[in-house]
Structure 1
Amino acid sequence: MSDLTRRDQPPMDEPVTHHGPPGGGAGRVLLAAAIVVLLVAVAGGTTWWMYTRDPAPTSNATPARTPTSPSCTGVKLRVVAAPEIAPVVSTAAKTLDDNPGDPCGPVEVVAEEPGLTVTTAAKPDVWIPSSTAWLGIANANGASFTAQGKPLAHSPIMLAAPTAVTDSISQGGRTSWAQLTGAVATGKVAAVTMPDAQASTTGMLSVYAVNAAMARTTPDSGIAQLRALTLRSRVKDAGADPSKLLAKVAEQWNTNGVVYDVGVFPVTEQQLKVYQQGKHTVQLKGAYPADGMVEADYPFAVAKNNQSEALTKKLRAAITRAALTQAGFRAAAIPNALPLPAEPGALLTPATMWSQYKSLATQVLLLIDASGSMNQKIKGPDGKQVSRAALLRESGRFAAELFAEDTTVGMWYFGQRTPTSPAHQEVVPFGPITEQIDGDKTRRDALVKAMEDYRATENTGTPLYQSVLDGVSTMREQVAPGTVTLVVVLTDGKDGESTFKMTQDQFMSKLAGEQDPSRPVPILAVGYGPDADMKALNDMSNATGGKAFAATNPADLSSAIAKAFLAAHAPR
């Protein structure tokens, strides 16, 4: 057995600026509610040495070969490797050349991001992607690769930033996704940048880790999803190329030496090591997220139609442990890393949700049902009896954190206490979410407090239809170019038991009269519990270009709110 396949190897030396990865359990995997998309959209590969000003002393400065020209007829083995490991593979391949000076050797090595290899029709004889997960994704799309032995190398994913920023969210080289989420939500971290979750191994695995980390914080999977979306809603750029990110950091800084455009971002330990060995003005420091450790690994995968078995074995043997560790990789897996799911969809579902999320200037009016039925006791996610109103308070508190800084928002409660009461009352006045409206308290603070103080009143009617009509009419006046204007409705019942009661036909006729194609106001409706009138909610949402979501089990309220939030930020 080759040294490369042994699992009892000691970890490689750590970068001098941080410590080794902490322990931690695998945690629960967040069940994301979205359609699995196996077609991965990708950008072209970028070689790792692009972001060093000077070649790192351990890199050997050996680029991967470009595709062989048609005049090279002696190629017997075509290899595609992830860009960061391709130089090591290329150096090993050259040792198999009878004439090392001849550009037409028997082994061709091409550096290519795994997502591009997945979508390219012509597949290589040997593939060394940056995660074993890509083999399952490729094979689900019709390829046929089999990993030979253990992965060649490993590299944990870290959170990197300039030293001052990293120190603010880490201690002893350790941090957490939850800590990063809290820091960005409260403005302690100015920016977060992420690689494309559908194109990049770092992006895909980081999104998986975020969701798994949030699932460990609560028994309510919906609350966990809301927390994960809180981080997503603050990401400045979610489609970056990891190598170009590092190049950007190397090039952009102000007179105080603070990067103003990238902020915190995930990167593999190997990439960070190479950057740290370069001569850069901006010094980066990394920290391991203890609540969601994931790692890139580099399988040596062979295609079913590979006709060069002997040469393949020689290539694998030529890729030495010493060369890999010198290039910044680990030769053994890190302890307690999250195991990756066998099914491609479990990785691609959250990645698709993350990538398709659009940061939009949004105007939102929240209509919250405050009728007496919200006091009904039901079984919560932890199995304990709790009122619907209590679950809404918990979900709403986290939902209030989702809105980005460019959101304009207001909130009404609807419910008629007496025959002379209005259909609804304003709880939070409409305006910018960052605006101070009560001393040093912002409108976001007011939203959180309103949800914490939310109480339903017994024997209260449900003027659902009238409140929706008033909400749409009010928000139509707010429609402005470059913004998305929405009415979000949450109810556990149906229109009735109020002086504003009307039939659905009457309501739909009035709603149609409110429509103005030049000033659209879609309705996103959440039907909460088995008594919600989903037909009415679907009809009103469809008529306005919106969408309705059912939380038939009231314990799934948070998941329904998360779906509505995703719909509000879906591509249009």
Structure 2
Amino acid sequence: MSELPRGYQGPGDEPITHHGPPGGGAGRVLLAAAIVVLLVAVAGGTTWWMYTRDPARTTNDATAATRAPSASPCPGVKLRVAAAPEIAPVVSAAAKKLDDDPANACDPISVVAEEPGFTVANAAKPDVWIPSSSAWLGIANAGGAAFTAEGKPLAHSPIVLAAPSVVTNTLVKGGRTSWAQLTGAVATGKVAAVTMPDAQISTVGLLSVYGVNAAMARTTPDSGIAQLRALTLRSRLKEATADPAKLMARVAAQWNTNGVVYDVGVFPTTEQQLRTYQRGKNTVRLTGGFPADGQVEADYPFAVAKNNQDIELTAQLRAAITRSSLTKAGFRPAPLPGTLPLPAQPSALLAPATMWSEYKSLSTQVLLLIDASGSMNKKIAAPGGRTTTRAGLLRESGRFAAELFAEDTTVGMWYFGQPTPSSPPHREVVSYGPITAPVDGKPRRDALAKAMKDYRAADNSGTPLYKSVLDAVAEMREKVSPGTVTLVVVLTDGEDGESTYKMTHAQFMQKLAAEQDPSRPVPVLSLGYGPDVDMKALTDMSEATGGKAFPATNPADLSSAIAKAFLAAHAPR
């Protein structure tokens, strides 16, 4: 694949003038510390420029996190500037031009390169701030800062999905790819590794999570399913706090004559960082593409603090950062068409970023309990005005559900129903085991999908619902282990009856309560089908075990219910 089209050329060396106020909003960001390494082009080659934070600062050092971004040894500094690492070299070069005494060891402007999350966390704020997204201004101001952006951003740089060419050749066509395609590729093993930057520290991480969620929202009207699909990618990340510049450094250090790097997969980065790498004389070629289903970009506002005491020097710095210097460094002067607008409220960015960053990597154990009694053959109205049966609606739901289980899921399926008085209350349809393991020579996921496709309810079959739930909970309780979420998912019309195992609701609830073990919880997630479903019975059953009950009126309801249960299990505490 060819390199990304340049698509930008500066008009010259004229300064860019800006006017207007910044956006606002509310939100909170959780921050950590890291080493920031960036790649910049110098004299047509590749040079590694490193800015290292105070090594005493770690994610567990809350006190250090409030320190100033830098402590200059020069008392003559008049203007302190914090800039996103990738644009800091351009800002530093502009600041050097304003030093009226080249022999002076102390420049009047101190430029510190740091990720925006660090600037937000530090108590001492700079006089001028050039973060890599305007979103950070609202986040910082909501926390008590007072920055005002001077008009339009200095520059723009879209987020691209980058990788060695041998990988991107399968994902990128015409400079475009998609988050959905990447998620599918990593889920099926076509992409060996995906890494992401810290969503609570870096703009690339923050906006990438926003892009992923926007892309998945396009695939379904159900927000729970969309979020679960986004977290499908999160659950498969090789690393969730990777630095794209470090990844590029590692790639550049490899001298594989075949141009194949096996330990670096796909990662998001800015177009500017990718272009800088591409301009270097590196053996391993990196290419990338814009994710068209959730296109996001970094922008670089020139923000001035309210307490800035040197407005004249600030204006001179602003004028010294020319359009040509930015385009030469690989930035764009204008947004890329089709870029998603930033949400008005920072919380719309921070909430998914927090969920993403603090996602619990838990294995899931599920026993699906499917009602195969005669009452499931009753006709009901379905979406679109058509008529179907409860069983037909359940078949459609099962098709959706089979796609939702992550690769670390262990699952089995029972049908319950009693066609004759001597029949058992339930039978195993798909054996319990890893979803990736084979069943009769095919992956268990495929076996689940086929079982739901072939599902039929027997006429005149009794409904031993309560007995089957008690047996299922007992079965799964023996499998509870640390680091896992264990569930029983029941799909039924919600009425126990016409079987030799029939019991009253009170009897069932008494037995269910007696078997609860807080040290080995097995929540029951129940889904009721049909207009006359006994939702109270299902709700009582689910709440007694710490689960949830949902009514089902369309095929997506099962997927939505499972999504909500999984999200709750993996959510930050």
Normalising by structure 1, what TM-score?
A: 0.82
312-321 or 172-181, which moves further after superposition? 172-181
1:44 corresponds to: 33
Q: Which moved more, 1:100-109 or 1:140-149?
A: 100-109
Alignment-mate amino acid for residue 196 of structure 1: D
Residue identity in the other structure for 2:399 = R
Q: CA deviation at 1:527?
A: 4.0
- Structure 2 CA distance, aligned partners of 1:540 and 1:101? 79
> Shift of the alpha carbon at 1:535?
5.9
1:57 to 22, 44, 48: 44
Moved more, 390-399 or 340-349: 390-399
Give 2:466's aligned amino acid.
Y
Quote the residue 1:18 is aligned against. Answer: 4
Q: For the residues of structure 2 that align with 1:190 and 1:418, how far apart are their CA atoms?
A: 50
Aligned residue number for residue 509 of structure 1: 510
Counterpart position of 2:111: 109
SS of equivalent residue, structure 1 residue 240: coil
The residue aligned with 1:119 is 121
Q: Equivalent of 1:322, from 305, 314, 324?
A: 324
Q: CA deviation at 1:376?
A: 5.4
Partners in 2 of 1:484 and 1:404 — Cα distance?
A: 13
Partner of 1:184: 186
The answer for the alignment partner of 1:309 in structure 2 is: 311
Rate the CA distance shift 1:61–1:177 in 2: closer, same or farther, 3 A. Answer: closer
Deviations 1:10-37 (A, max 9, x none): xxxxx9623468xxxxxxxxxxxxxx99
Q: Which AA in structure 2 matches 1:400?
A: A
Contact 1:65 1:109 in 2 (8 A): no
CA distance in 2, matches of 1:375, 1:341: 46
Distance in 2 separating the partners of 1:62 and 1:195: 19
Q: CA deviation at 1:504?
A: 4.5
Which residue type is aligned with residue 273 of structure 1?
R
Q: Deviations over 1:135-170 (max 9, x none)?
A: 222233333322211111111111111111110122
**1:353 aligned to 2:342?**
no
Unaligned runs of at least 5 residues, structure 1:
1-14, 22-35
User: CA-to-partner distance for each residue in 1:74-118, whole Å, 9 max, x for gaps?
Assistant: 333322211111121122122222334545333222222112222
- Aligned with 1:335 (options 328, 334, 337): 337
Provide the C-alpha distance between the structure 1 equivalents of 2:43 and 2:535, rounded to a whole number of angstroms. 61
RMSD of aligned C-alpha atoms?
3.6
Q: In the superposition, relative to structure 1, how do residues 451 and 198 fare at CA in structure 2: closer, same or farther (>3 Å)?
A: farther
Give secondary structure in 1 for the equivalent of 2:241: strand
Q: Is the 8 A contact 2:37 2:246 kept in 1?
A: no
Deviation, 1:360, is 2.6
Q: Distance between the aligned counterparts of 2:130 and 2:385, measured in 1? A: 46
* Residue type of the alignment partner of 1:361: S
Runs of 5+ consecutive residues of structure 2 not aligned to the other structure: 8-24, 54-68
Q: Distance in 2 between matches of 1:479 and 1:534?
A: 27
Q: Is the CA contact (8 Å cut-off) linking 2:524 and 2:542 kept in structure 1?
A: yes
- The verdict on how the C-alpha distance between 1:186 and 1:299 changes in structure 2, with shifts beyond 3 A counting, is same
Q: Is the 8 A contact 1:417 1:459 kept in 2?
A: yes
Distance 1:248 1:510 in 2: 59
* Alignment-mate amino acid for residue 186 of structure 2: V
Q: Which moved more, 1:312-321 or 1:222-231?
A: 222-231
Aligned AA (2:342): L
2:127 and 2:228 map into 1 onto residues whose CA distance is: 43
Tell me, what secondary structure is at the counterpart of 1:401? helix
Match in the other structure for 1:206? 208
CA contact (8 A) 1:462 1:494 kept: yes
Aligned to 1:143: 145
User: How many Å separate the matches in 2 of 1:473 and 1:385?
Assistant: 37
Supply the distance in 2 between the matched residues of 1:475 and 1:209 (Cα, whole angstroms): 37
Secondary structure of 1:214 counterpart: helix
3-state SS in 2 of match to 1:83: coil
Task: Summarize the Cα distance change of 1:313–1:466 in structure 2 as closer, same or farther, 3 Å threshold.
Answer: farther
Deviates more, 1:310-319 or 1:344-353: 344-353
Asked if structure 1 preserves the Cα contact closer than 8 Å seen for 2:149 and 2:301, the reply is yes
Which residue in 1 is equivalent to 2:56?
A: none
Q: Does 2:297 match 1:295?
A: yes
1:511-555 C-alpha deviation (Å, 9 max, x unpaired): 34434456x2421514447766666556555655x4325457756
* Higher CA-based Rg: 2
Taking the aligned partners of 1:165 and 1:146, their CA distance within structure 2 comes to: 42
More moved, 226-235 vs 143-152 = 226-235
Structure 2 matches for 1:443-458, cutoff 5 A? 443-455=444-456
Q: How many residue pairs were aligned?
A: 538
Distance 1:44 1:243, change over 3 A: farther
| TM alignment of 1:2-17, pairs within 5 A | 17=3
- Please tell me the residue identity of whatever aligns with 2:335: A
Partner of 2:403: 401
Residue correspondence of structure 1 range 157-176 to structure 2 within 5 A: 157-176=159-178
**Cα distance in structure 2, aligned partners of 1:297 and 1:185:** 31
Q: Are 1:562 and 2:563 counterparts?
A: yes
Q: Deviations over 1:492-516 (max 9, x none)?
A: 5354555434344433432344344
* One-letter code aligned to 2:525: A
Question: Do 2:505 and 2:537's aligned partners in 1 also have CA atoms closer than 8 Å?
Answer: yes
2: CA distance, partners of 1:320 / 1:570: 45
Take 1:276 and 1:425, find their aligned partners in 2: how far apart are those partners?
A: 59
Equivalent AA in structure 2 for residue 472 of structure 1: V
Q: Distance in 2 between matches of 1:61 and 1:442?
A: 46
- Distance across 1 between alignment mates of 2:537 and 2:395: 25
Per the alignment, do residues 169 and 272 of structure 1 end up closer, same or farther by CA in structure 2, a change over 3 Å counting? same
Residue equivalent to 1:236: 238
Q: Higher mean Cα deviation, 411-420 or 454-463?
A: 454-463
State the partner residue of 2:369: 367
Equivalent residue runs for 1:76-87 within 5 Å: 76-87=78-89
Q: 2:128 touches 2:304 (CA, 8 Å); kept in 1?
A: yes
| Structure 2 counterpart of 1:6 | none
* 2:471 maps to amino acid: D
Q: Deviations over 1:358-399 (max 9, x none)?
A: 33333221223455358654564x787776655654554343
Structure 2 distance, partners of 1:470, 1:202, is: 48
Q: SS at the partner of 2:120?
A: helix
Deviation of 1:188 (Å) = 1.8
Alpha-carbon shift at residue 57 of structure 1 (Å): 3.2
Hey, what's the Cα distance between the residues in 2 that align with 1:235 and 1:502? 47
The DSSP-based 3-state class of the residue aligned with 2:548 is strand
Q: Does the CA contact (< 8 Å) of 1:206 and 1:266 recur in 2?
A: yes
Residues 80-95 of structure 1 aligned to structure 2 (within 5 Å): 80-95=82-97
1:285 is aligned to: 287
- Secondary structure of the 2:170 match is helix
Quote the residue 2:473 is aligned against: 472
Instruction: Read off the aligned partner of 1:136 and give its amino acid letter.
Output: G
C-alpha distance in structure 2 between counterparts of 1:383 and 1:133, whole Å: 44
State the distance in 1 between where 2:453 and 2:155 align. Answer: 49
Deviation at 1:286, TM superposition (A): 0.8
List per-residue Cα deviations over 1:195-217 (Å, max 9, x = no partner). 23333222222222222223334
Q: Between the two proteins, what is the percent identity of the paired residues?
A: 69
Q: Give the letter aligned to residue 525 of structure 1.
A: L
CA contact (8 A) 2:167 2:191 kept: yes
Pick which of 174-183 and 253-262 moved more: 253-262
